[in-house]
């Protein structure tokens, strides 16, 4: 019997998730997470990621959960193609690429959770989630930059551990 590490299982699951494989056990079998995923709360009672998540279809939520599980269980995010640093005026923000074709739709949809990657403290702070159409993000990335500045420069809001 071969020993399979958590990142290997997660990577297999992520690839297979596009073929309708669903993880039922959650994190019970995977306790070695290298990274903390945090949600940014811009004000008391406002969890933008949680609110976005609650509005999504089950397939989108499953892809989102798997993507976060894969990232948090891998030491080096730069090697993961679904993790992308933004450039230009959006430098300092990072996106997680979630591309999914929902059962009732012909085209793929492109969801982009946006956040701040802090390798020194091993955190990824989720600021908001966008849907990308062409080169446009909805909501616009300016809002993510505003939240980033509020958190880093003005100590506005708070971060809380993301619940998988």
Tens of pLDDT, residue by residue over 40-69, are 999 999 999 999 999 999 999 999 999 999
Tell me, what's the pLDDT at 79?
Answer: 87
Asked whether residue 27 is assigned to any structural domain, the reply reads no
What residue numbers bound the domain in which 119 lies?
6-21+33-161
Distance between CA atoms of 150 and 147, rounded to whole angstroms?
Answer: 5
Tell me, what's the pLDDT at 75?
Answer: 87
Asked whether residue 1 is assigned to any structural domain, the reply reads no
Tell me, what's the pLDDT at 33?
Answer: 80
Residues of the chain falling short of pLDDT 70:
1-32
Half-sphere exposure of 111 (CA within 13 A, CB side): 20
Token pair of 18 as six digits? 């596009």
Asked whether residue 63 is assigned to any structural domain, the reply reads yes
Asked whether residue 28 is assigned to any structural domain, the reply reads no
Tell me, what's the pLDDT at 12?
Answer: 44
- pTM metric for this prediction: 0.80
- Picking from 66, 68, 79, 84, the residue whose alpha carbon sits closest to that of residue 14 is 66
Tell me, what's the pLDDT at 58?
Answer: 95
Asked whether residue 115 is assigned to any structural domain, the reply reads yes
Q: How many domains does the chain have?
A: 1
Asked whether residue 26 is assigned to any structural domain, the reply reads no
Distance between CA atoms of 138 and 111, rounded to whole angstroms?
Answer: 9
Tell me, what's the pLDDT at 6?
Answer: 46
Tell me, what's the pLDDT at 50?
Answer: 96
Distance between CA atoms of 128 and 41, rounded to whole angstroms?
Answer: 10
């Amino acid at each position: 019997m071969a020993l399979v590490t958590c990142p290997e299982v997660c990577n297999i699951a992520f690839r297979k998730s596009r073929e309708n494989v669903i993880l039922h056990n959650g994190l019970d079998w995977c306790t070695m997470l290298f990274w903390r995923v945090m949600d940014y709360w811009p004000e008391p009672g406002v969890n933008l990621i949680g609110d976005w998540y609650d509005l999504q279809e089950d397939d989108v939520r499953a892809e989102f959960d798997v993507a976060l599980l894969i990232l948090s269980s891998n030491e080096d995010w730069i090697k993961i193609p679904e993790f992308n640093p933004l450039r230009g005026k959006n430098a300092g923000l990072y996106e997680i690429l979630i591309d999914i074709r929902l059962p009732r739709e012909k085209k793929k949809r492109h969801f982009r959770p946006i956040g701040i990657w802090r390798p020194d403290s091993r955190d990824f702070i989720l600021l908001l989630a966008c849907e990308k159409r062409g080169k446009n993000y909805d909501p616009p990335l300016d809002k993510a930059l505003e939240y980033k500045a509020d958190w880093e420069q003005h100590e506005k809001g708070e971060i809380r551990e993301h619940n998988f």
